[in-house]
Amino acid sequence: MKTSSLSRRQFLKSAAAGSALCFPNLIPARVLGANAPSKRVALGHIGVGGQGTGLMNNFLNLSQGQTVAVCDPIKDRRESAAKRVEQRYAADADRSSYKGCRTYNDLREMLACADIDAVVVATPDHWHVPAAIAAVRAGKDVYVEKPLGISMEHNKAMRETIHRHGAVFQYGTQQRSQSLHCAFACELVRNGYIGEVKAVHVIAPNGVRGGKAESQPVPEGIDYDLWLGPAPVTPFCTDRCLGVGSMKGVYHIYDYAIGFIAGWGAHPLDIAHWGYPHIPVEYEGTGVIPTEGLFDTVVDWDVRGRYASGAEFTLKPGSDLTTFVGTKGRITVGRGRQTLAAEPASLLDVKIKPEEIHLVQENNHYRDFLNCVLTRRTPVSNIDSAVQSDFMSHLGDICIRTGRKIKWDPAKETIVADEGAARRMHRPMREPWNLG
């Protein structure tokens, strides 16, 4: 793994110059033993809905970090999250109460605080990259939920910002740390145990149709304009902003996402790129763009492609699986508990040699991020791989929406010989929001 030459102290000092100081009441050192406050990462959480609160709970379990702030344009969510933080720290300190988790409606106010070292971004997809870029420019390291950007332009801008500022970036593809069988499968492929790769087949859960589009008054406690952020202005409705489970509009409305082809596809596509670190250069396929209801991202996709090596690529709906087919065998792996199969079965008995490629660096994805913030080591789910795996879902979506076979130039990172398809690599953003 690469290591940044920029020290954490230098990075934060230079980037936070002129920022507001918002120092919290730190937990007494006795609570976390030898981990004195100066050795802990002060965390802010941007987006504390279901997924954001789940991530926050995982970070609360780790002594390397301390949550000092939460941000969400929905008042009930940020207040509930802050209460959860303070109750947890009060219990850890064996006292009746703890006050030290600040709440913010606007991420810009939170990012102005120089005492925050890193942020966890778990917003709707259309906010992932704008929020993370703003955080890095404010001197923060970032943990960013998957998928990455809602356009390929977003992804490139995120990567450029991370490298230019020397920031630590961890992608929310937890299987790289916490599903060790996924790493083992990729190690088998990377070390040549299945021979030359001839095909990579990816299956991801299908998207959802539906959603009610009737306009409704914005409920009290929701800053809807800020929730929309860079997305177009559209009337508020519950299914757009407050849907439950897989029926959340933010997963299935094209203004905010490209659908489960990326939202779920990010996991098996990440495994595909981890095991075979290339992306296809040709894409064609079919899919359905719903015309009834609120949701309008692609469902029932069937994407076929080809790598520069000649290996076949497919992306279809179904379970959460990645299959590597080689000249000496095949491996199928999923994030589910020990979802691993091989032909021949003897591949599962292979012991990766010390001198061969090993991919795991920590068995806890969140601790890996915190340790990397402290040491400036590159996390296991780095920005370069995140961008490439996310490109595959975008290129699949673009070939479906254009109805044409498209070709990808991996050196120039652009769609070639099709200006209409290439324009789809970009998305307009509502002022004053931008990637600049």
**318-346 pLDDT, tens digit each:** 999 999 999 999 999 998 777 999 999 99
Is the pLDDT confidence value at 280 over 80? yes
CB 259 within 8 A of CB 298: yes
CA 341 and chain centroid, separation: 27
The average pLDDT across 25-51 equals 67
**55-81 pLDDT, tens digit each:** 999 999 999 999 999 999 999 999 999
For the stretch 397-402, contacts whose Cβ atoms lie closer than 8 Å and that sit 24 or more positions apart, written own/partner, are 397/258, 397/259, 397/261, 397/262, 397/298, 397/301, 398/283, 398/424, 398/425, 399/283, 399/284, 399/285, 399/303, 400/285, 400/286, 400/287, 400/289, 400/298, 400/301, 400/303, 401/289, 401/298
**288-299 pLDDT, tens digit each:** 999 999 999 999
The average confidence (pLDDT) of the chain is 91
CATH dotted code for 8-176: 3.40.50.720
Residue 95 has a pLDDT of 80
Structure token digits, residue 162:
């991370």
SS3 339: strand
pTM above 0.85, yes or no: yes
**133-151 pLDDT, tens digit each:** 999 999 999 999 999 999 9
Domain boundaries, the chain: 8-176, 180-351+383-423
Residue 38 has a pLDDT of 57
DSSP characters for 122-189? -S-HHHHHHHHHHHHHTT-EEEE-SS--SSHHHHHHHHHHHHHHT--EEES-THHHH-HHHHHHHHHH
Q: Which residues lie across from 302 on neighbouring strands?
A: 286
**401-425 pLDDT, tens digit each:** 999 999 999 999 999 999 999 999 9
Q: Which CATH class is domain 180-351+383-423?
A: alpha beta
The average pLDDT across 297-308 equals 98
**213-248 pLDDT, tens digit each:** 999 999 999 999 999 999 999 999 999 999 777 778
Residue 20 has a pLDDT of 52
Is the pLDDT confidence value at 361 over 60? yes
Quick count: other Cβ atoms within 10 Å of Cβ 135?
A: 27
Q: What letter represents residue 71's amino acid?
A: C
Backbone angles phi, psi at 242, to 5 degrees: -125, 25
Is the pLDDT confidence value at 24 over 90? no
CB 341 within 8 A of CB 334: no
Residue 4 has a pLDDT of 37
